[in-house]
Every structure is written in structure tokens, then in C-alpha cells.
């Protein structure tokens, strides 16, 4: 039975790993064992932070809505309660964008929310 030489397979795997580690500092970019650890850890951080990114943006949208609403004499929670009662089905991302760029349109939404709140 002929001998199987695996050099090309290993080299291909190593090459792919070092490509992923490109731009890292020190031995992390050119030593296979260290590069593998660095790439795996980077993947863990990337996976985790894709979820953290969603949290961060939601917080930003809430801050923007809150700032715009407080100028009209409401708090964020009162405003969101009024929005629910008024039946406005816009998400926070869209409302934050309206608050930032379309002040007049957002002012109408605030007015509707205020009117829907119980006195």
C-alpha cells in the first residue's frame, strides 16, 4: 500500500489560519499554535459582540427618543405608554430616526401619544 503524504493538506490548513490572523501583532500572526488560539478567541469575541451590538443600538435609540420627548414635557416611559394606547406600531429604530431627522413628523407622533394618555 502506498504511503500517504499529508503535507499539502496541512499546509493548506495552516495557510488559511494565517490568513485569518493577518494584521495581528507579534507571534500571533505567524506562529501556527499561537495564531490558532488568537483566531479562535477572535471568533468568540465576534460572536458575542454581534449580540452586544443589538443591545447597544437599542439603548442608543431609547436615549434619542427620550431626549426628543423630554423637550415636549413627557418622559420616555409615558411616551411609550401613549404610543401603545394610540396604536402606533413604529419600532424604536424608526422613531429614533424620526426624532433625529424629521422633528415635525415626530412632533405629531408625540402629540398623538399625549392625546391617548389618560388625563
pLDDT of 21-44, one tens digit each? Answer: 999 999 999 999 999 999 999 999
Q: Would you kindly state where each structural domain of the chain is located, as residue ranges?
A: 8-116
Return the pLDDT at 6: 80
Contacts of 20 (CB under 8 A, 6+ apart): 35, 39, 42
pLDDT of 45-86, one tens digit each? Answer: 999 999 999 999 999 999 999 999 999 999 999 999 999 999
Q: Check pLDDT > 90 for residue 14.
A: yes
The three cell numbers locating residue 82: 401613549
Return the pLDDT at 27: 96
Q: What whole-number distance in Å separates Cα of residue 24 and Cα of residue 10?
A: 22
| Mean pLDDT along residues 99-106 | 95
* Local confidence band at 2 (pLDDT 50, 70, 90 cut-offs): confident
Please determine, looking at this structure, whether the domain spanning 8-116 carries the CATH number 1.10.1900.20.
yes
Amino acid at each position: 500500500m502506498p504511503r500517504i503524504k499529508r503535507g499539502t493538506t496541512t499546509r493548506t490548513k495552516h495557510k488559511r489560519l494565517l490568513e485569518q490572523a493577518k494584521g495581528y501583532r507579534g507571534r500571533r500572526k505567524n506562529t501556527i499554535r499561537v495564531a490558532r488560539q488568537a483566531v479562535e478567541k477572535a471568533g468568540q469575541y465576534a460572536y458575542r459582540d454581534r449580540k452586544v451590538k443589538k443591545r447597544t443600538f437599542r439603548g442608543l435609540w431609547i436615549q434619542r427618543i427620550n431626549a426628543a420627548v423630554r423637550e415636549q414635557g413627557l418622559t420616555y416611559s409615558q411616551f411609550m405608554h401613549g404610543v401603545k394606547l394610540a396604536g402606533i406600531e413604529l419600532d424604536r429604530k424608526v422613531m429614533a430616526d424620526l426624532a433625529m431627522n424629521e422633528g415635525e413628523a415626530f412632533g405629531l407622533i408625540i402629540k398623538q401619544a399625549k392625546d391617548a394618555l389618560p388625563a
